[in-house]
Structure 1
Amino acid sequence: MESVNFSEVIAQTDIEMELRGWTTDQGREYLKKTYGKRSHFLLTQVELLDFLQYLASQPTPTLDEIIIAKINVEIQWLWWTQKQGWEYIKKIMGSDRVFC
């Protein structure tokens, strides 16, 4: 097997996760379930390439889906429920401007 630059592949997995709107927690859960490891830094070369191939095969979400996912992550960081967060957003933006 040809040698692979781990840092480049890890960077590419980060990009693919970002493009698909995956959070770090979603990536960690997938890695634990699939490989029994918590981080892509702990994967073997074969596992890392397999993970990258899996990510690249997943559909890319729409811009709206990415924005909603990012908002939901921010709401979690505030320790709000989804309902609290979206009610606040609707209040400050006006309910006719919110797309969910």
Structure 2
Amino acid sequence: MATTATTCPPGQSGTCLYTVGGQAIVNGPPLGTVQSYNPVSNLWTELPPLPTPRFGLAAAATACPVGVAGNCVYASGGSTGIGDVRATLEALAPPATSTL
């Protein structure tokens, strides 16, 4: 699971921690899970999943691509299985969704 921090999803304030992808168990399938944690409200928010579920990836947060307002979480690289290394870069703009 990769982590990074940036502004919280719409409807929340402060800086949130984001978790992206990973594996639930050793040798398990890759996860497409994306969540944010708001330490101010102590809430986890389930966000839309990664288009490409994977583990061993990196995450970073910075300005979104041209034409998209705010900050995005970027998911880079990783693997979808044994010997499968991805050269994928995805920009995730966190929308307001349900909280856990």
- With the length of structure 1 as denominator, give the TM-score of the two structures: 0.26
Q: Which has the higher strand share?
A: 2
TM-score (norm 2): 0.26
Larger radius of gyration: 1
| More helix by percentage | 1
